[in-house]
A and B are shown apart, each in its own frame.
Chain A
């Protein structure tokens, strides 16, 4: 499986500010995925990020709130814009298995608290 590193691992953010989360993978991958896990909840897919194209957002998530960059095949960023306490969540980067593509692996997550 790929090694996935996320930064920051934790942060406390002020309401109204924006924060960019970085995801670095140790191998080239076509797709990267961003998930959100709100407190006590399951994982919800925010968007799929393909290198060289616009990210594809799931229902309920919009680019203005969660802009994503994918400058190369090993790196992506997710920005949480104009944060409110409702954005307090774990944000997880994930990538599919290189051989089958049907298994996804996760980074350690970025734990954000908005105050």
Chain B
């Protein structure tokens, strides 16, 4: 069964500092990997996704993520955090065998940004 682990429930960073949110997945084949962001009172917005090819993927809002097969990881990074990045971030994994596969979400990491 596929699963996602986000080991950090809550992270606090200073505005302007760099950010890395961890995500580890379990999936029997080549996974599709996603990062979503949920701002307070909002639905989920797709930040970026990895299907194949270059293991470093760029997303919206200056975020990037790196797929490391050997570590079963897909960590999200941003070089300089802005106060508006305060939100909850969800990593997710889906199938990669064509068509739609069930997507499984991690438990989320809540990001707090301090001035």
Residues of A within 8 A of B (CB): 1, 31, 41-43, 45, 92, 96, 100-109, 111
Contact = CB atoms under 8 A, between A and B. Distances in A.
A41 B90 CA distance: 11
B107 to A, nearest CB: 5
A109 B43 contact: yes
Interface of B: 32, 34, 36, 41-46, 49, 51, 90, 94-96, 99-103, 105-108
10 contacts: A1-B46, A42-B106, A43-B105, A102-B95, A102-B100, A103-B49, A107-B43, A109-B42, A109-B43, A111-B41
B101 A102 contact: yes
A1 B44 CA distance: 13
A107 B38 CA distance: 11
Given A102-B51, A103-B34, A103-B49, A31 B107 contact: no
Contacts of A103: 32, 34, 46, 49
Contacts, number: 46
Given A102-B32, A103-B34, A108 B43 contact: yes
Contact of B96 (A31, A102, A104, A107): A102
A45 B102 contact: yes
A101 B98 CA distance: 8
Contacts of A45: 102-103
B44 A102 contact: no
A42 B90 CA distance: 8
B107 A105 contact: no
Contacts of B96: 102
A102 B100 CA distance: 5
Nearest to B91: A42
Q: Which of A31, A92, A103 has the most CB of B within 10 A?
A: A103
A45 B104 CA distance: 8
A92 B95 CA distance: 21
A106 B44 contact: yes
